Amino acid sequence: MNFKHCDDFVKEFENVIKNPKKGKSSVYYTGIDLGTACVVMAVLDENYRPVAGAFQYADVVKDGMVVDYIGAIRLVGAMKEKLEDALETELIYASAAIPPGTDNLDGGAVKNVVQAAGFEITSILDEPTAANKLLGMENGAVVDIGGGTTGISLIKDGEVVLVTDEATGGTHFTLVLSGAYKKPFKEADEYKRKFENHKEIFPVLKPVVEKISTIISKSVKDHQVEELVLVGGSSCLTGIEAIIEDMTGIPTHKPMNPLFVTPLGIALSCSKEIID
């Protein structure tokens, strides 16, 4: 799998987070990723190029469920306003994502949050499927290792044929680290996110990576899978792909920065067609 398009696109997005690109776009498309650990907003212009973005660590969602409804609306509303100010425009259309399998339980809440924050919603899709909008994988599985859950989307000839989602993700890494290092959760999470600490903490986190590998193996056991592509913030962990490849026996790769692939895929799924 060639990551050049994805890596270039993510780099462009990282640049506009710092320096929003004000322009004369006739329409803007927004992707909103309401994650367990992190809320990301990505704005694309009429040509589906990144023009602005923002992200914030927050506790408004747990494992795909909105647990702080008012907090979530406030946060999405504040991010919207900040990006509108930066672009000197009004953001109207948005897409959002939910973990696979939670649509019957909670898809409504995510939609309500996005609408209450002032957006018209154009689609709600599951996270790993959203990620593949940017990756463009033809055959294999996209594995979104986020904060609360690991979502897997099996792709055959470019089509999603199976999606699963299991609790275990970055929050579990942080809990293990917090216990081992006797650091409060927030501090342990910040420590974990620093690349220079990865080598040191990896042995402590390895059992959780092995658990995630088992989840992946179980989810795809009835299928021939050519390749795994890791996305989601927890895939940033240096060396995670080697353990997963070893344990699953499936060649495993990841893009340069897996953190923003899903939110950008969500934004790429946004259109002008409002759903109700």
Residue list 80-109, contact with ligand ATP (CB under 6 A): none
Q: What is the CA radius of gyration of the chain?
A: 18
Which residue has 């702080």 as its token pair? 68
Q: Are strands 65-66 and 61-62 parallel, antiparallel or unpaired?
A: antiparallel
DSSP 8-state assignment for residue 2: -
192 binds ligand ATP (CB under 6 A): yes
128 binds Mg ion (CB under 5 A): no
Amino acid code (one letter) for 247? M
> Which residue has its beta carbon closest to Mg ion?
146
Per-residue string for binding with Mg ion, 33-72, x by CB under 5 A? Answer: --x-------------------------------------
Which helix (H) or strand (E) element contains residue 218? helix 198-219
Which of 20, 53, 140, 146 touches Mg ion (CB under 5 A)?
Answer: 146
With respect to ligand ATP, which residue has the nearer C-beta, 45 or 148?
148
Amino acid code (one letter) for 63? D
SS3 77: helix
Q: Least distance from C-beta 123 to Mg ion, angstroms?
A: 16
**Span interacting with ligand ATP, options 83-91, 110-118, 141-149, 180-188, rule CB under 6 A:** 141-149
With respect to ligand ATP, which residue has the nearer C-beta, 66 or 250?
66
Residue 148 interacts with, from ligand ATP, Mg ion, none (CB under 5-8 Å by kind): ligand ATP
If one counts every other C-beta atom within 10 angstroms of the C-beta of residue 228, the result is: 24
For the residues of 85-123, what is the DSSP string, one character each?
Answer: HHHTS---EEEEEE-TT-HHHHHHHHHHHHHHTTPEEEE
If one counts every other C-beta atom within 10 angstroms of the C-beta of residue 168, the result is: 19
170 binds ligand ATP (CB under 6 A): yes
36 binds ligand ATP (CB under 6 A): yes
255 binds ligand ATP (CB under 6 A): no
With respect to Mg ion, which residue has the nearer C-beta, 89 or 153?
153
127 binds ligand ATP (CB under 6 A): yes
